[in-house]
């Protein structure tokens, strides 16, 4: 999840370049194009520009029978402020030296390099992840760890932000990562507007572990856990001991913890913390409430507790977050 603090301003170089290659992962490429190539006049004149750099000569094939002719070759990477590697044609397929050199040069001059799903293997081959944390699709995590032991592979998150190098998990997690970058560059409200047009959540809590075995609870679990989760959201500041939650769900504590984790991907405590942080962010953005009051309303009790969790999760303070993203910044 996010490690880097929000940027103070959008990047000076707004050019986003997506890599195209023979055997292109169509969905992942489509995520990059939808996020950064689609005209968004409501965002003003400072929005991103977009281009495609083909690393294979001539017409390239994409999954699904699509053929692509790129805007240019690897030289385009040298002009980019942000480079996106939308998947890769195979985890064991070698990465062309020309692409490795272009990515290294782009990283050295400060460009941001993003990977979606198996695109992490391209970043790893270029040495951009050495000594860093990274994620990828859960199916490829072990292989990435075996091939590149100098990378700390985190298999249970949707994306990781290491500053100028960012990686995402499976294909759809590319949407989460791209929205995170928009949030970093232009703020929460801009990211929310983009998410609204895409009809997706502006921020998904939890990690990819919740999708590994079964992402949809059995019907009888939905009937018992769904109302319970709704109740917790409606009164997020209340205390929720596991024993009380299990009793409300009509389960033993052990069964409840197992079923809750299967349904949400996290423990009740982790779920509550995530929901409370989300409520606090909304209140910081949209209200003039004092920090102490926000801490109470969101279920943290005291401002010091809110500050602790906020700094740990977002690498910033509630006051700094409000100053960056709030509509009533003068009340922090």
Alpha carbon 300 to chain centroid, angstroms: 25
Quick one: average pLDDT of 291-297?
96
SS3 159: strand
Give the pLDDT confidence score for residue 218 in this predicted structure: 46
235, part of any domain: yes
Residue of 7 and 232 predicted with greater confidence: 232
CA 116, CA 327: separation in Å to the nearest integer? 33
Give the global pTM: 0.67
Considering the domain architecture, whether residues 44 and 121 belong to the same structural domain is answered as: yes
Q: How many domains does the chain have?
A: 3
- Residue 1 in this model has a pLDDT that exceeds 60: no
- State which H helix or E strand residue 51 sits in: strand 49-54
Average pLDDT, the chain: 87
Give the pLDDT confidence score for residue 2 in this predicted structure: 45
Pure H helices in the chain: 26-36, 97-108, 120-125, 141-147, 173-186, 188-198, 219-234, 242-249, 253-264, 268-286, 291-297, 303-314, 318-325
Give the pLDDT confidence score for residue 168 in this predicted structure: 94
3, part of any domain: no
Quick one: average pLDDT of 39-58?
90
Quick one: average pLDDT of 53-68?
93
119, part of any domain: yes
Considering the domain architecture, whether residues 140 and 175 belong to the same structural domain is answered as: yes
Considering the domain architecture, whether residues 53 and 77 belong to the same structural domain is answered as: yes
Give the pLDDT confidence score for residue 261 in this predicted structure: 86
6, part of any domain: no
CA 137, CA 62: separation in Å to the nearest integer? 20
Signed CA dihedral, 108, 187, 25, 21: sign only: negative
pLDDT digits 0-9 by tens, 128-147: 999 999 999 988 999 999 99
Considering the domain architecture, whether residues 49 and 127 belong to the same structural domain is answered as: yes
Quick one: average pLDDT of 85-91?
95
Range of the domain at 277: 268-323
Binned at pLDDT 50, 70 and 90, residue 41 comes out as confident
SS3 86: strand
Q: Which residues are registered as beta bridge partners of 160?
A: 167
pLDDT digits 0-9 by tens, 202-259: 666 555 544 444 333 444 455 678 889 889 999 999 999 999 999 999 999 999 999 8
Binned at pLDDT 50, 70 and 90, residue 4 comes out as very low
315, part of any domain: yes
């Amino acid at each position: 999840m996010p490690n880097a603090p929000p940027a103070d301003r959008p990047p000076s170089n707004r050019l986003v370049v997506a890599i195209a290659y023979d055997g292109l992962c169509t969905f992942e490429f489509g995520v990059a194009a939808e996020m950064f190539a689609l005209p968004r006049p409501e965002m003003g004149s400072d929005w991103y520009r977009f281009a495609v750099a083909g690393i294979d000569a001539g017409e390239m094939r994409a999954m699904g029978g699509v053929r692509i002719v790129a805007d240019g070759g690897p030289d385009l990477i040298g002009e980019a402020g942000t480079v996106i590697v939308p998947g890769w044609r195979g985890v064991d397929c070698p990465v062309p030296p020309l692409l490795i050199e272009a990515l290294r040069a782009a990283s050295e001059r400060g460009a941001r390099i993003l990977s979606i799903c198996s695109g992490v293997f391209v970043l790893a081959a270029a040495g951009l992840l050495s000594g860093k944390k990274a994620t990828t699709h859960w199916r490829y995590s072990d292989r990435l760890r075996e091939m590149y032991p100098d990378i700390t592979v985190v298999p249970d998150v949707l994306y990781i932000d290491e500053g100028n190098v960012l990686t995402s998990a499976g294909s759809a997690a590319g949407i989460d990562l791209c929205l995170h970058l928009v949030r970093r560059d232009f703020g929460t409200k801009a990211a929310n507007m983009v998410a609204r047009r895409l009809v997706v959540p502006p921020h998904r809590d939890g990690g990819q572990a919740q999708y590994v075995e079964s992402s949809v609870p059995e019907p009888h679990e939905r009937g018992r856990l769904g109302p319970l989760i709704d109740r917790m959201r409606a009164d997020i500041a209340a205390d929720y001991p596991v024993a009380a939650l299990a009793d409300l769900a009509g389960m033993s504590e052990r069964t409840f913890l197992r079923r809750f984790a299967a349904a949400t991907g996290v423990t009740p405590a982790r779920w509550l913390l995530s929901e409370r942080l989300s409520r606090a962010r909304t209140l910081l953005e949209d209200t003039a409430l004092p920090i102490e009051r926000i801490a109470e309303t969101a279920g943290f009790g005291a401002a010091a507790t809110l500050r602790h969790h906020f700094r740990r999760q977002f690498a910033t303070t509630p006051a700094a977050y409000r100053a960056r993203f709030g509509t009533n910044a003068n009340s922090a």
